Structure 1
Amino acid sequence: MGRALSDDVLGAIVATARVIGALVLLFFLPGFLLINALYPRKGELDREYDALYRVTLGIVLSIAVTVFWSFFLNSLGINEATGLGYVVGPNIAGGLIGLSAAFFVLGWWRGAYPWMARVHPALARVPKPGPGELLTEDERDHRVRLKLQKLAEKREALRRAIKDAERRMRLQSADAQSHYETLRDKSRAELRSVEAELKKLEEERAAELY
């Protein structure tokens, strides 16, 4: 009885996995890979909601790809061996898998998957700059690094200013302490702003590189 129950559970898991795989193949994967092939640059669809656009358009295009592939299979007529049409599960699945693979290769070739460089350096591909991108990748990275360096220097200067203000607060009279306390609080607020900007730039640079 225990073995029969185990087989039932395994069968249920396999059936669930097949349903999920079929749904992903029919309603997401081909269109998502096609969108990446058409728009390989990150942020090309929208700077803020690029991922959401890709997922949404991927679902729509997946349905369209599935419909057109089914039309193609239907145009082949009747399979004489079975007496049925070609619009059957294996043919639909095989075609969608093949199209997905083709879209993935095209997207990789156009630079949509820079993470492929982690698999092997020879697979590294960078998307071409867009029409409005006058700077090369190296030039943009150089500018970002310069900005990071300036912000880091400003952060250190603010930290020194805070320490200096705190030191002077201990040495001065009550009236002077109030003045240096104001300077310290102002430097702290500016330091928080600089650190937030540094963190944002570092995250954006890491996202572009990886």
Structure 2
Amino acid sequence: MLDAVLATLQVVAALLLIFLLPGYVLVNALYPRKGELDREYDGLYRVTLGIVLSIAVTVLWSFLLNSLGVDPGTGLGQVRDVNIAAGLLGLTAAFFVAGWWRGAYPWMVRLHPSLARTPAPGPADLLAEERLDHKVRLRLQDLAVRRERLRRAIADSERRMRLQSAEARSHYEEKRDAARRDLEGVEAELRKLEEERAAELY
């Protein structure tokens, strides 16, 4: 019974090693960002490409082993199960390390903080950041224009206060105070946006 279970596990492991693992980790190394292949069916694309690439890797590795010729000691070629398994395991490990380096496995930070790697932003991410930065710049410009307009309104109200009678002066005092309150809100929003941009840059 135990022998049958071990034999079954051996077959399953061999099938995974030949038909899935090398290609799957190679796909992750080539496309480390989640959703990079497809936003909706990214996992399916990775598995499908992984199967195709695994077969290709196995065939190429077998060709390489075959090119090494015959072992003089045994009289056998190098295309043997041990050599194939060792090569595929080594390639899988190499592809996995490459994928980790490119940020394909963010979950590894759970094992140790030093293993944390994030993928570089793609063209779509850079475009989104550029659009967001453009919106922030437009907002900063709008706030700067509003601030200058309010400053002029405050100066105009104070000038008119000096020229008007006591009754009319109260009207311009209210306008000045309202403009000052608006100016404080605008300057607070400007400071917040500038601090957020500084935090993103540095």
Q: TM-score range by the shorter chain?
A: 0.5 to 0.7
1:28 to 20, 23, 35: 20
* TM-score (structure 1 length as normaliser): 0.60
Separation of aligned partners in 2, 1:66 and 1:81:
25
Q: 1:49 aligns with which of 41, 50, 61?
A: 41
Q: Which residue of 2 aligns with 1:19?
A: 11
Quote how far apart the aligned CAs of 1:116 are: 0.2
Aligned alpha-carbon RMSD (Å): 1.4
Q: Give the structure 2 partner of residue 38 of structure 1.
A: 30
For structure 2, the residue ranges without an aligned partner over 5 or more in a row are 133-202
Q: Tell me, what secondary structure is at the counterpart of 1:78?
A: coil
Q: Compute the displacement of 1:128 (Å).
A: 0.2
Give how far 1:81 is off: 1.2
1:127 lines up with 2:119 in the alignment:
yes
Q: Distance in 1 between matches of 2:2 and 2:73?
A: 34
Residue 60 of structure 2 corresponds to: 68
- Offset at 1:133? 1.1
> What does residue 86 of structure 1 align with?
78
Identical columns (%):
70
**Separation of aligned partners in 2, 1:99 and 1:66:** 10
Q: Give 1 or 2 for the bigger CA radius of gyration.
A: 2
**Corresponding residue number in structure 1 for 2:96:** 104
Question: Which 5+ residue runs of structure 1 have no aligned equivalent?
Answer: 1-8, 140-210
SS at match of 1:129: coil
The residue type paired with residue 22 of structure 1 is: A
Residue 52 of structure 1 deviates from its aligned partner by 0.2
CA distance in 2, matches of 1:53, 1:69: 24
Where do residues 167-178 of structure 1 align in structure 2 (5 Å cutoff)? none
Distance 1:100 1:81 in 2: 29
Runs of 4 or more off by more than 6 Å in structure 1? none
Q: In the alignment, what sits opposite 1:203?
A: none
Cα distance in structure 2, aligned partners of 1:15 and 1:132? 47
Query: How far apart are residue 132 of structure 1 and its match?
Result: 2.0
